[in-house]
Amino acid sequence: MSHLDDEAHREEVETLLELYEISDEDLDRIRSAGELLRDRMEDLVGRWYSWLETQPEFEEFLSDEEVLRRAQALQLDYWKSFFAAQVDPEYFETRRHLGETHARIGLPLPTYFAGTTKFLSVIFELLKEEGLDGAVRSATEQAINELVHLDIGVVVETYTTLEKEVIESQSRALMEMSTPVTEIWKGILLLPIVGIIDSKRAQDIMNAALSQITETHARIFILDISGVGVVDTAVANHLVKITKATRLMGCESMISGVSPAIAQTIVELGIDVGTVKTTATMRDALADGFAKVGIQLTEGRRDHGR
């Protein structure tokens, strides 16, 4: 890690401590509490797991004995680290790892919040049992609360970031599946669109089309919009941009599936589709496309007998 990285991480630590109003005195109080509870850490974790066993999440996430054993060991390490109160970049890294773990196993955030609240109540019970003076205990509990909330903030931020990345990855995969540009004949590409076209999807469609044009050297690209429910100014402009981009690649575009309602909407909105070739049906677009690549189609007749 470079010197600049070290400095950035130290600044992050200082910023978060200031944000959560955690002073050096607060950290000293937490360390003192850790000394007081040093021989009771296993008791702390044990009491918490006694509570957890009554919750429905226990069977879902910790029914396996080996998983339970590892989880208990990690909890013990976590609270030892917490009461050491050495809040540095490594401390935050362990909290981020915890957020990632919770996200990957699918632990709901409300369950994490409830568990943390229970841990706090157990800690406060133990401090009371150790006979701390009322004023000292109150200040210590306040300091513990502040650092726990900082931990929660780091864990939740990491959790939500990872969840967002997973959702975006799934969305990209779904978008790729929903934009299948297919070479239906040598030189002719077809893309039927179903659903809503927004800026992101229009860009994905354009990228997929241009990629396939480059790969197949297609001369015709048919974009069928019969499955598109709404065509407004934004959608029409996206379609025009797609056709212009494919034209720059030497590929002529046609938009099929233009219903009377869509045609009327385009006219009413005053949208200029320029030189974009449109057809009412995919069949018309295919016939035109085959003709442009020099393929003549003949309709066969079927003898049904007499």
Task: Give 108-161 pLDDT, tens digit per residue.
Answer: 889 899 999 999 999 999 999 998 888 999 999 999 999 999 999 999 999 988
Kindly report whether the global pTM for this prediction surpasses the value 0.85.
Answer: no
Q: What local confidence, expressed as pLDDT, does residue 21 receive?
A: 94
pLDDT-derived band at 175 (thresholds 50, 70, 90) equals low
pLDDT higher at 4 or 76: 76
Q: How confident is the model at residue 171 (pLDDT cuts 50, 70, 90)?
A: low
pLDDT of residue 100: 84
Mean pLDDT across 183-192:
90
Residue 99 and residue 164 in contact, taking contact as beta carbons nearer than 8 Å? no
Of the CA atoms within 13 Å of residue 3, those in its CB half-sphere come to: 0
Backbone conformation region of residue 252, classed left if phi is above 0, alpha if psi is from -120 to 50, else beta: beta
The candidate with the shortest Cα–Cα distance to 240, out of 275, 210, 268, 214, is: 275
Q: Are 37 and 130 in contact (CB under 8 A)?
A: yes
For residue 174, pLDDT beyond 70: no
Dihedral sign from CA coordinates of 235, 236, 237, 240: positive
Question: Of the candidates 233, 232, 177, which has an alpha carbon nearest to the alpha carbon of residue 201?
Answer: 177
Six token digits for residue 12: 């992050």
User: Which pLDDT band, with edges at 50, 70 and 90, does 24 fall under?
Assistant: very high
Nearest to 150 by CA among 74, 105, 88: 88
DSSP string covering the chain: --HHHHHHHHHHHHHHHHHTT--HHHHHHHHHHHHHTGGGHHHHHHHHHHHHTTSHHHHHHH-SHHHHHHHHHHHHHHHHHHHHT--SHHHHHHHHHHHHHHHHHT--HHHHHHHHHHHHHHHHHHHHHTT--HHHHHHHHHHHHHHHHHHHHHHHHHHHHHHHHHHHHHHHHHHHHH---EEEETTEEEEEEEE---HHHHHHHHHHHHHHHHHH--SEEEEEEEEES---HHHHHHHHHHHHHHHHTT-EEEEE---HHHHHHHHHHT---TT-EE-SSHHHHHHHHHHHTT------------
Mean pLDDT score, 224-253: 86
Which residue has 């069949």 as its token pair? Answer: 283
**Beta-bridge mates of residue 190:** 182, 222
233 or 176: which carries more pLDDT confidence?
233
Which domains are delineated in the chain?
3-172 (1.10.490.10), 182-292 (3.30.750.24)
- What is the tens place of the pLDDT at every residue in 249-305? 999 999 999 888 788 877 777 766 667 788 999 999 999 999 888 877 666 544 444
